[in-house]
Protein backbone atom coordinates (compact mmCIF):
# COMPACT_ATOMS: atom_id res chain seq x y z
CA UNK A 1 0.00 0.00 0.00
CA UNK A 2 1.41 3.37 -0.95
CA UNK A 3 -1.38 5.48 0.53
CA UNK A 4 -4.96 5.65 1.82
CA UNK A 5 -6.64 6.28 5.20
CA UNK A 6 -4.62 4.56 7.91
CA UNK A 7 -6.04 4.19 11.39
CA UNK A 8 -5.79 7.30 13.48
CA UNK A 9 -3.05 7.16 16.06
CA UNK A 10 0.23 8.67 17.01
CA UNK A 11 2.23 6.25 14.90
CA UNK A 12 0.49 7.18 11.69
CA UNK A 13 2.68 10.17 11.02
CA UNK A 14 5.83 8.07 11.29
CA UNK A 15 4.97 6.24 8.10
CA UNK A 16 2.44 8.36 6.29
CA UNK A 17 2.35 11.96 5.16
CA UNK A 18 -0.19 14.25 3.67
CA UNK A 19 0.08 17.02 1.13
CA UNK A 20 -0.37 19.57 3.87
CA UNK A 21 0.54 19.59 7.54
CA UNK A 22 -0.65 21.88 10.31
CA UNK A 23 1.73 23.92 12.34
CA UNK A 24 1.44 24.45 16.07
CA UNK A 25 -1.12 27.19 15.49
CA UNK A 26 -3.18 24.95 13.24
CA UNK A 27 -2.25 26.77 10.07
CA UNK A 28 -1.66 24.66 6.92
CA UNK A 29 1.99 24.31 5.99
CA UNK A 30 3.61 22.62 2.98
CA UNK A 31 4.45 18.95 3.33
CA UNK A 32 4.26 16.75 0.25
CA UNK A 33 2.79 19.72 -1.57
CA UNK A 34 5.07 22.67 -1.65
CA UNK A 35 2.43 25.12 -2.79
CA UNK A 36 -1.21 25.36 -3.84
CA UNK A 37 -3.57 27.73 -5.55
CA UNK A 38 -7.28 27.98 -6.08
CA UNK A 39 -9.71 30.01 -8.05
CA UNK A 40 -11.88 32.75 -6.62
CA UNK A 41 -14.72 30.38 -5.84
CA UNK A 42 -12.38 27.86 -4.22
CA UNK A 43 -13.85 25.18 -6.44
CA UNK A 44 -10.69 24.54 -8.40
CA UNK A 45 -7.43 23.80 -6.65
CA UNK A 46 -3.97 22.92 -7.79
CA UNK A 47 -1.35 21.37 -5.51
CA UNK A 48 2.25 21.35 -6.62
CA UNK A 49 4.01 18.23 -5.37
CA UNK A 50 7.38 18.26 -3.68
CA UNK A 51 9.98 16.96 -6.08
CA UNK A 52 12.15 13.94 -5.21
CA UNK A 53 9.72 12.29 -2.90
CA UNK A 54 9.72 8.51 -2.92
CA UNK A 55 7.39 5.98 -1.49
CA UNK A 56 8.80 3.39 0.85
CA UNK A 57 8.88 0.93 -1.99
CA UNK A 58 11.21 3.28 -3.80
CA UNK A 59 8.77 4.46 -6.46
CA UNK A 60 8.57 8.22 -7.02
CA UNK A 61 5.65 10.26 -5.93
CA UNK A 62 3.94 11.39 -9.10
CA UNK A 63 0.84 13.45 -9.66
CA UNK A 64 -0.95 10.49 -11.13
CA UNK A 65 -0.32 8.28 -8.11
CA UNK A 66 -1.18 11.09 -5.73
CA UNK A 67 -4.39 11.84 -7.64
CA UNK A 68 -5.47 8.24 -7.39
CA UNK A 69 -4.95 8.15 -3.64
CA UNK A 70 -6.52 11.57 -3.06
CA UNK A 71 -9.56 10.72 -5.16
CA UNK A 72 -10.42 8.00 -2.68
CA UNK A 73 -9.96 10.39 0.23
CA UNK A 74 -12.02 13.22 -1.22
CA UNK A 75 -15.39 11.91 -2.24
CA UNK A 76 -17.44 14.44 -4.16
CA UNK A 77 -14.37 16.01 -5.71
CA UNK A 78 -12.66 15.28 -8.97
CA UNK A 79 -8.95 14.70 -8.58
CA UNK A 80 -6.66 14.46 -11.55
CA UNK A 81 -3.03 14.88 -12.42
CA UNK A 82 -2.24 18.10 -14.15
CA UNK A 83 1.23 17.27 -15.32
CA UNK A 84 3.88 15.22 -13.50
CA UNK A 85 3.96 17.26 -10.34
CA UNK A 86 0.60 18.99 -10.09
CA UNK A 87 -2.63 17.59 -8.79
CA UNK A 88 -5.85 19.35 -9.78
CA UNK A 89 -8.92 19.11 -7.60
CA UNK A 90 -12.32 20.32 -8.67
CA UNK A 91 -15.66 20.34 -6.96
CA UNK A 92 -19.12 21.70 -7.56
CA UNK A 93 -19.08 23.45 -4.23
CA UNK A 94 -16.51 25.72 -2.64
CA UNK A 95 -13.73 23.83 -0.86
CA UNK A 96 -12.52 26.68 1.28
CA UNK A 97 -10.95 24.40 3.92
CA UNK A 98 -9.42 21.95 1.49
CA UNK A 99 -5.86 22.41 2.84
CA UNK A 100 -7.14 21.66 6.33
CA UNK A 101 -8.90 18.59 5.03
CA UNK A 102 -5.78 17.44 3.29
CA UNK A 103 -3.85 17.74 6.55
CA UNK A 104 -5.59 14.59 7.80
CA UNK A 105 -6.81 13.02 4.57
CA UNK A 106 -5.01 11.43 1.68
CA UNK A 107 -2.20 9.73 3.51
CA UNK A 108 0.78 8.71 1.41
CA UNK A 109 3.39 6.20 2.52
CA UNK A 110 6.35 8.50 2.19
CA UNK A 111 7.05 9.09 5.91
CA UNK A 112 10.44 9.18 7.63
CA UNK A 113 10.13 5.66 8.98
CA UNK A 114 9.27 2.35 7.42
CA UNK A 115 7.30 -0.27 9.33
CA UNK A 116 9.41 -3.36 9.58
CA UNK A 117 7.59 -5.47 12.11
CA UNK A 118 4.08 -5.40 13.51
CA UNK A 119 2.53 -7.66 16.12
CA UNK A 120 -0.95 -6.29 16.61
CA UNK A 121 -1.57 -5.24 20.19
CA UNK A 122 1.97 -5.95 21.29
CA UNK A 123 4.73 -4.46 19.27
CA UNK A 124 5.61 -2.41 16.19
CA UNK A 125 9.03 -1.60 14.84
CA UNK A 126 9.93 1.18 12.50
CA UNK A 127 13.27 1.81 10.84
CA UNK A 128 14.62 5.00 9.40
CA UNK A 129 13.72 5.76 5.78
CA UNK A 130 17.06 6.58 4.22
CA UNK A 131 15.35 7.97 1.15
CA UNK A 132 13.16 10.34 3.08
CA UNK A 133 12.77 13.61 1.21
CA UNK A 134 13.53 15.55 4.39
CA UNK A 135 16.73 13.67 4.96
CA UNK A 136 17.37 10.48 6.87
CA UNK A 137 15.90 10.62 10.41
CA UNK A 138 18.36 10.79 13.29
CA UNK A 139 16.86 7.74 14.88
CA UNK A 140 17.75 4.44 13.30
CA UNK A 141 14.68 2.70 14.50
CA UNK A 142 11.72 3.08 16.78
CA UNK A 143 10.53 0.14 18.84
CA UNK A 144 6.98 0.64 20.07
CA UNK A 145 5.30 -1.52 22.70
CA UNK A 146 1.57 -1.55 22.14
CA UNK A 147 -1.27 -2.11 24.60
CA UNK A 148 0.77 -1.17 27.64
CA UNK A 149 -1.00 0.68 30.42
CA UNK A 150 -0.12 4.22 31.29
CA UNK A 151 1.07 3.22 34.71
CA UNK A 152 3.43 0.65 33.25
CA UNK A 153 4.59 3.08 30.62
CA UNK A 154 5.47 5.53 33.36
CA UNK A 155 7.38 2.85 35.18
CA UNK A 156 9.21 2.03 31.95
CA UNK A 157 10.18 5.66 31.61
CA UNK A 158 11.37 5.86 35.18
CA UNK A 159 13.34 2.65 34.81
CA UNK A 160 14.92 3.82 31.57
CA UNK A 161 13.22 1.09 29.56
CA UNK A 162 11.43 3.59 27.36
CA UNK A 163 12.34 6.97 25.97
CA UNK A 164 8.88 8.24 25.17
CA UNK A 165 5.68 7.25 26.95
CA UNK A 166 2.16 8.51 27.07
CA UNK A 167 1.25 9.88 30.50
CA UNK A 168 -1.92 10.85 32.19
CA UNK A 169 -2.31 14.31 33.67
CA UNK A 170 -2.67 12.72 37.10
CA UNK A 171 0.96 11.49 36.79
CA UNK A 172 2.42 14.74 35.54
CA UNK A 173 3.79 15.75 38.91
CA UNK A 174 5.53 12.42 39.21
CA UNK A 175 7.04 12.79 35.76
CA UNK A 176 8.20 16.30 36.40
CA UNK A 177 9.50 15.49 39.85
CA UNK A 178 11.53 12.49 38.73
CA UNK A 179 15.29 12.25 39.06
CA UNK A 180 17.91 11.09 36.61
CA UNK A 181 17.62 12.14 33.01
CA UNK A 182 15.84 15.33 32.23
CA UNK A 183 12.30 14.73 31.17
CA UNK A 184 10.15 16.75 28.91
CA UNK A 185 6.43 16.66 28.40
CA UNK A 186 4.83 17.10 25.04
CA UNK A 187 1.22 18.07 24.82
CA UNK A 188 -1.16 17.87 21.90
CA UNK A 189 -4.14 20.10 21.54
CA UNK A 190 -7.16 19.21 23.65
CA UNK A 191 -8.32 16.19 21.70
CA UNK A 192 -9.58 13.92 24.49
CA UNK A 193 -13.07 14.49 25.69
CA UNK A 194 -13.83 13.24 29.20
CA UNK A 195 -17.56 12.94 29.59
CA UNK A 196 -20.34 11.17 31.41
CA UNK A 197 -22.73 9.28 29.20
CA UNK A 198 -26.00 7.81 30.33
CA UNK A 199 -26.67 4.38 28.96
CA UNK A 200 -29.05 4.79 26.03
CA UNK A 201 -30.96 1.66 27.03
CA UNK A 202 -31.36 2.79 30.67
CA UNK A 203 -34.40 5.01 31.07
CA UNK A 204 -33.59 7.86 33.40
CA UNK A 205 -35.45 10.88 34.66
CA UNK A 206 -34.35 14.07 32.87
CA UNK A 207 -34.36 15.82 36.26
CA UNK A 208 -31.89 13.28 37.54
CA UNK A 209 -29.60 13.81 34.55
CA UNK A 210 -29.79 17.57 34.87
CA UNK A 211 -29.25 17.44 38.65
CA UNK A 212 -26.13 15.39 38.12
CA UNK A 213 -24.88 17.76 35.42
CA UNK A 214 -25.45 20.83 37.58
CA UNK A 215 -23.89 19.30 40.68
CA UNK A 216 -20.47 18.73 39.15
CA UNK A 217 -17.80 21.17 40.19
CA UNK A 218 -15.22 20.80 37.44
CA UNK A 219 -12.67 23.33 38.70
CA UNK A 220 -11.23 21.32 41.63
CA UNK A 221 -11.01 18.24 39.46
CA UNK A 222 -9.23 20.24 36.77
CA UNK A 223 -6.77 21.83 39.14
CA UNK A 224 -6.00 18.83 41.33
CA UNK A 225 -6.66 15.62 39.46
CA UNK A 226 -5.90 16.82 35.96
CA UNK A 227 -3.07 19.14 36.98
CA UNK A 228 -4.72 21.98 35.09
CA UNK A 229 -4.21 20.22 31.78
CA UNK A 230 -6.79 20.87 29.10
CA UNK A 231 -9.87 22.71 30.11
CA UNK A 232 -13.18 22.11 31.85
CA UNK A 233 -15.95 22.04 29.35
CA UNK A 234 -19.63 21.47 28.91
CA UNK A 235 -19.28 21.14 25.14
CA UNK A 236 -18.38 18.20 22.99
CA UNK A 237 -16.07 19.96 20.58
CA UNK A 238 -13.02 21.70 22.02
CA UNK A 239 -12.89 25.42 22.00
CA UNK A 240 -9.92 25.49 19.67
CA UNK A 241 -11.85 23.52 17.09
CA UNK A 242 -15.34 24.94 17.31
CA UNK A 243 -14.72 28.36 18.79
CA UNK A 244 -18.02 28.30 20.65
CA UNK A 245 -17.42 25.82 23.47
CA UNK A 246 -17.46 28.67 25.96
CA UNK A 247 -21.14 29.18 25.13
CA UNK A 248 -21.98 25.92 26.92
CA UNK A 249 -22.13 26.75 30.64
CA UNK A 250 -20.03 24.47 32.80
CA UNK A 251 -20.62 26.33 36.04
CA UNK A 252 -21.77 24.60 39.24
CA UNK A 253 -25.41 25.26 40.14
CA UNK A 254 -25.86 23.34 43.37
CA UNK A 255 -29.14 24.99 44.49
CA UNK A 256 -30.88 24.02 41.28
CA UNK A 257 -29.32 20.59 41.37
CA UNK A 258 -30.69 20.12 44.90
CA UNK A 259 -34.10 21.36 43.85
CA UNK A 260 -34.18 18.91 40.98
CA UNK A 261 -32.98 16.11 43.20
CA UNK A 262 -35.55 16.88 45.87
CA UNK A 263 -38.28 16.71 43.25
CA UNK A 264 -37.32 13.12 42.57
CA UNK A 265 -38.67 10.20 44.57
CA UNK A 266 -36.04 8.85 47.00
CA UNK A 267 -35.60 5.69 44.96
CA UNK A 268 -34.97 7.81 41.89
CA UNK A 269 -32.00 9.62 43.40
CA UNK A 270 -29.55 6.78 43.00
CA UNK A 271 -27.17 6.09 40.15
CA UNK A 272 -24.41 3.69 39.37
CA UNK A 273 -21.36 5.11 37.65
CA UNK A 274 -18.75 3.00 35.95
CA UNK A 275 -15.40 3.73 34.38
CA UNK A 276 -12.58 2.04 32.56
CA UNK A 277 -9.78 1.41 35.08
CA UNK A 278 -7.27 1.65 32.23
CA UNK A 279 -7.97 5.34 32.25
CA UNK A 280 -5.63 6.57 34.97
CA UNK A 281 -7.66 9.44 36.37
CA UNK A 282 -11.03 7.78 35.83
CA UNK A 283 -11.51 6.44 39.34
CA UNK A 284 -10.60 9.72 41.00
CA UNK A 285 -12.80 11.65 38.61
CA UNK A 286 -15.72 9.27 39.12
CA UNK A 287 -15.43 9.39 42.88
CA UNK A 288 -15.28 13.16 42.79
CA UNK A 289 -18.40 13.20 40.65
CA UNK A 290 -20.03 11.01 43.30
CA UNK A 291 -18.98 13.48 46.01
CA UNK A 292 -20.45 16.37 44.04
CA UNK A 293 -23.64 14.43 43.41
CA UNK A 294 -23.85 13.63 47.12
CA UNK A 295 -23.93 17.37 47.80
CA UNK A 296 -26.97 17.59 45.54
CA UNK A 297 -28.73 14.76 47.31
CA UNK A 298 -27.92 12.09 44.76
CA UNK A 299 -26.42 8.77 45.71
CA UNK A 300 -23.88 7.72 43.09
CA UNK A 301 -22.27 4.34 43.48
CA UNK A 302 -18.97 4.03 41.67
CA UNK A 303 -17.73 0.71 40.35
CA UNK A 304 -15.28 -0.15 37.59
CA UNK A 305 -16.28 -1.95 34.43
CA UNK A 306 -19.89 -2.40 35.35
CA UNK A 307 -21.81 -3.08 32.15
CA UNK A 308 -25.12 -2.49 33.94
CA UNK A 309 -24.22 0.93 35.29
CA UNK A 310 -26.49 3.85 34.57
CA UNK A 311 -23.69 6.20 33.64
CA UNK A 312 -20.27 5.69 32.12
CA UNK A 313 -17.24 7.90 32.45
CA UNK A 314 -15.65 7.89 29.02
CA UNK A 315 -12.74 9.38 27.22
CA UNK A 316 -13.33 9.98 23.55
CA UNK A 317 -10.64 11.04 21.12
CA UNK A 318 -11.10 13.64 18.49
CA UNK A 319 -11.00 11.77 15.20
CA UNK A 320 -11.19 14.59 12.72
CA UNK A 321 -10.20 18.15 12.40
CA UNK A 322 -13.44 18.76 10.61
CA UNK A 323 -15.82 20.00 13.32
CA UNK A 324 -18.86 18.32 11.84
CA UNK A 325 -17.10 15.00 11.51
CA UNK A 326 -15.62 15.41 14.95
CA UNK A 327 -19.05 16.11 16.43
CA UNK A 328 -20.48 13.07 14.71
CA UNK A 329 -17.60 11.01 16.08
CA UNK A 330 -18.23 12.21 19.62
CA UNK A 331 -21.97 11.62 19.29
CA UNK A 332 -21.43 8.07 18.10
CA UNK A 333 -18.94 7.32 20.86
CA UNK A 334 -21.26 8.70 23.54
CA UNK A 335 -24.35 6.95 22.26
CA UNK A 336 -26.01 10.14 21.16
CA UNK A 337 -28.08 10.53 18.01
CA UNK A 338 -26.24 11.36 14.82
CA UNK A 339 -26.18 15.14 14.59
CA UNK A 340 -27.60 16.91 11.59
CA UNK A 341 -24.90 18.28 9.41
CA UNK A 342 -24.68 21.91 8.48
CA UNK A 343 -22.11 23.98 6.78
CA UNK A 344 -22.31 27.02 9.02
CA UNK A 345 -20.93 27.49 12.50
CA UNK A 346 -24.38 28.35 13.77
CA UNK A 347 -25.77 25.10 12.44
CA UNK A 348 -22.95 23.21 14.07
CA UNK A 349 -23.58 24.94 17.38
CA UNK A 350 -27.27 24.17 17.14
CA UNK A 351 -26.56 20.53 16.40
CA UNK A 352 -24.30 20.25 19.40
CA UNK A 353 -26.76 22.08 21.62
CA UNK A 354 -29.52 19.67 20.64
CA UNK A 355 -27.24 16.73 21.33
CA UNK A 356 -26.60 17.99 24.85
CA UNK A 357 -29.96 19.45 25.81
CA UNK A 358 -31.29 16.25 27.34
CA UNK A 359 -28.17 15.75 29.49
CA UNK A 360 -27.79 12.25 28.10
CA UNK A 361 -24.12 13.14 27.86
CA UNK A 362 -22.31 15.49 30.22
CA UNK A 363 -18.95 16.75 28.88
CA UNK A 364 -16.46 17.34 31.65
CA UNK A 365 -13.03 18.09 30.28
CA UNK A 366 -11.14 18.50 27.05
CA UNK A 367 -7.69 17.09 27.60
CA UNK A 368 -4.57 16.91 25.50
CA UNK A 369 -2.56 13.79 24.79
CA UNK A 370 0.57 14.01 26.91
CA UNK A 371 3.86 12.36 26.24
CA UNK A 372 6.79 12.26 28.57
CA UNK A 373 10.21 11.86 27.04
CA UNK A 374 13.53 11.11 28.61
CA UNK A 375 16.92 11.53 26.92
CA UNK A 376 15.06 12.88 23.91
CA UNK A 377 16.38 16.02 22.29
CA UNK A 378 14.22 18.05 20.02
CA UNK A 379 13.91 21.66 19.07
CA UNK A 380 10.11 21.71 19.31
CA UNK A 381 7.60 19.20 20.61
CA UNK A 382 7.59 16.55 17.87
CA UNK A 383 3.89 15.86 17.91
CA UNK A 384 1.00 17.25 15.94
CA UNK A 385 -2.10 18.90 17.33
CA UNK A 386 -3.78 15.52 17.20
CA UNK A 387 -0.84 13.93 18.99
CA UNK A 388 0.75 12.22 16.00
CA UNK A 389 4.47 11.59 16.29
CA UNK A 390 6.77 13.47 14.01
CA UNK A 391 10.07 12.01 15.02
CA UNK A 392 12.07 12.76 11.92
CA UNK A 393 14.12 15.38 13.72
CA UNK A 394 14.37 13.68 17.10
CA UNK A 395 17.62 12.36 18.54
CA UNK A 396 18.58 10.80 21.77
CA UNK A 397 21.22 11.77 24.29
CA UNK A 398 24.50 10.09 23.49
CA UNK A 399 23.77 10.01 19.80
CA UNK A 400 25.05 12.63 17.39
CA UNK A 401 22.38 14.71 15.77
Partner 1 sequence: MTFRTRLLIAFAIAVVVAVAFVGAVVSTATRRAFERLDEQRVSALAAQFHQEFLRRQREIAERVKDIAEADSTRDMVIALSRPDADPSAYVDAAQPLAAAHNLDFLELISVTGSIVSSAQWPARFLYQEDWVTRGTDWNAREPFLKREDLPTDTALALVAVRLASVGDSKLYVVGGEALDRDFLSSFVLPDGMRALLFREPQSIAGASGPIPRTAPLAPLIDAVRKQRRELTRTVQWSADAVDAETFHAIPLIGPGNGPGKDPGAGDELMGAFLVGSSRGPQVRLERFMLRIEILVAAGGILLALLVAFWTTARITRPVEALAAGARAVAAGDWRTQVDVHSSGEIGALAAAFNQMTRDLLEQRDRLVQAERVAAWRELARRLAHELKNPLFPLQITVENLQRARAAHPEQFDEVFRESTATLLAELGKLRGIVGRFSDFAKMPQPQLETVDLNGLVRDSLKLFEAQMQAAGVALRLDLAADLRAIQADPGQLGRALQNLVLNAIDAMPAGGTLAMRTAPHEGGVRLEVSDTGQGLTQEECDRLFTPYYTTKTHGTGLGLAIVQSVISDHAGRIGVRSEPGKGTTFVIDLA
- Give rounded-to-5 percent helix, strand, coil for the chain: 30, 30, 45
CB 193 within 8 A of CB 231: no
Contact with partner 1 (CB under 8 A): which of 125, 284, 319, 325? 284
CA atoms of 331 and 356, how far apart (whole Å):
10
Q: Does 278 bind partner 1 (CB under 8 A)?
A: no
Q: Considering the rule CB under 8 A, would residue 290 count as an interface residue with partner 1? A: yes
Nearer to partner 1 (CB atom), residue 3 or residue 169 = 169
Span 299-338, contacts to partner 1 by CB under 8 A = 301-302
The count of C-alpha atoms lying within 13 angstroms of the C-alpha of 82, restricted to the half-sphere facing its C-beta, is 15
Other residues' Cβ atoms within 10 Å of the Cβ of residue 43: 17
**What is residue 107's DSSP assignment?**
E
Instruction: Decide if residue 93 touches partner 1 (CB under 8 A).
Output: no
Query: Could you say whether residue 270 binds partner 1 (CB under 8 A)?
Result: no
- Least CB distance to partner 1 at residue 299 (A): 8
Q: Binding-site residue total for partner 1 (CB under 8 A)?
A: 14
In whole angstroms, the minimum distance from the beta carbon of 288 to partner 1 comes to 4
Which of 253, 287, 350, 393 touches partner 1 by CB under 8 A? 287
- Residue 223 touches partner 1, criterion: CB under 8 A: yes
Torsion of CA 26, 238, 312, 175, to 10 degrees: 60
Residues 140-199 touching partner 1, rule: CB under 8 A, are 173
**Nearest residue (CB) to partner 1, 161 versus 294:** 294
Instruction: Decide: residue 253, CB within 10 A, 0-12 exposed, 13-18 middle, 19+ buried.
Output: middle
Q: Which is nearer to partner 1, 93 or 294 (CB)?
A: 294
Q: Which is nearer to partner 1, 174 or 256 (CB)?
A: 174
Q: Considering beta carbons, is residue 223 or 305 the nearer one to partner 1?
A: 223
CA 3 to the chain's CA centroid: 21
Q: Using the rule CB under 8 A, is 227 a contact of partner 1?
A: yes
CA distance linking residue 198 with residue 208, whole number of Å: 11
Q: What is the DSSP letter of 120?
A: T
Contacts with partner 1, residue ranges (CB under 8 A)? 173, 220, 223-225, 227, 284, 287-288, 290-291, 294, 301-302
Amino acid sequence: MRGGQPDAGPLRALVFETLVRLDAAGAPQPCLAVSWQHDAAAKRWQFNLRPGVKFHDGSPLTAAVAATILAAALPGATVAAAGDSTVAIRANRPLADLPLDLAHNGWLETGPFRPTAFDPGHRATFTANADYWGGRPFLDAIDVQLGRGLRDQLADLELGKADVVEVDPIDLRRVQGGTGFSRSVWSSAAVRLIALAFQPDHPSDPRLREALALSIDRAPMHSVLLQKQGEPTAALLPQWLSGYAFAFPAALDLPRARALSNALPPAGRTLTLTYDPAMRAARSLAERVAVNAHDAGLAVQVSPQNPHADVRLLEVYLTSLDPAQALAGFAAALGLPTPSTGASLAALYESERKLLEGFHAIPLFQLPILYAASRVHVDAPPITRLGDWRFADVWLSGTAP
